[in-house]
Amino acid sequence: MIPLDYDGPFETERLLLRLPTLDDTDAVYAYQSREDVCEFLPYAPRSREEVAEKLERNAAITRLENDGDFWLLPLERRDDGRVIGEVMLRITSAALSGGEIGWVLHPDAHGKGYANEAARAVLELAFDRVALHRVVAELDPRNAASVALCARLGMREEAHFVKNFPLPDGSWGDTGIHAILAEEWRAAR
């Protein structure tokens, strides 16, 4: 693994992936406050204040080097500057060159290829710049759109843990683990 200081924004055809600012609060609140968005996430809908606090903390993280370091990058459309979601890259094990990817989009942005575009950019960053060996996605297996995206990214399902995760409502949820290795990513390009 190679430590990486943030030097973005990272550009895709239609998106800028960048560090968050407090100016993103309203746009992020617009989806993180929704029950339908949080249905498959490990947190309940957030208040505007909670969103602002998270954005402020996340904006200060500018280096990927140690276990637990992460970037939560807003997805800003290049054509109109609107924030439509976020993508995350987290170091799970610096010693083992392992990482995790995740994504959340506003429902208005679903089905348009934005998550695929952003996830591909982050996987490229993870494998080519941070030199990770393996990247996983942990998700709620009921989230068919994210399961399908993992398949499109070349990730395989490696595990399905049953009732291993406490949900905000006090019940237990399942976790699906999907993964891809650096050599698999490179071979598929």
Copy the structure tokens of residue 101. Answer: 């990817």
Q: Which of 55, 5, 68, 3 is nearest to 28 (CA)?
A: 55
Q: Would you say 144 and 107 are in contact if contact means Cβ atoms under 8 Å apart?
A: no
Decide if pLDDT at 105 tops 90.
yes
Strand runs labelled E in 29-171:
63-64, 70-77, 83-93, 98-105, 134-139, 156-166
| pLDDT value, residue 74 | 98
Residue 77: pLDDT band (50, 70, 90) is very high
Could you give all domains of the chain from N- to C-terminal order, each with its CATH number? 4-188 (3.40.630.30)
| pLDDT value, residue 12 | 98
Nearest-angstrom CA–CA distance, 135 and 142: 21
Decide if pLDDT at 85 tops 90.
yes
Nearest-angstrom CA–CA distance, 167 and 173: 6
Residue 167: pLDDT band (50, 70, 90) is confident
Decide if pLDDT at 58 tops 90.
yes
Decide if pLDDT at 168 tops 90.
no
Residue 83: pLDDT band (50, 70, 90) is very high
Decide if pLDDT at 123 tops 90.
yes
The residue length of the chain stands at 189
Per residue in 28-40, pLDDT tens?
999 999 999 999 9
| pLDDT value, residue 100 | 99
Copy the structure tokens of residue 183. Answer: 């050599």
Per residue in 7-19, pLDDT tens?
989 999 999 999 9
Question: Strand, coil or helix: what is 11?
Answer: strand
Q: Would you say 31 and 105 are in contact if contact means Cβ atoms under 8 Å apart?
A: yes
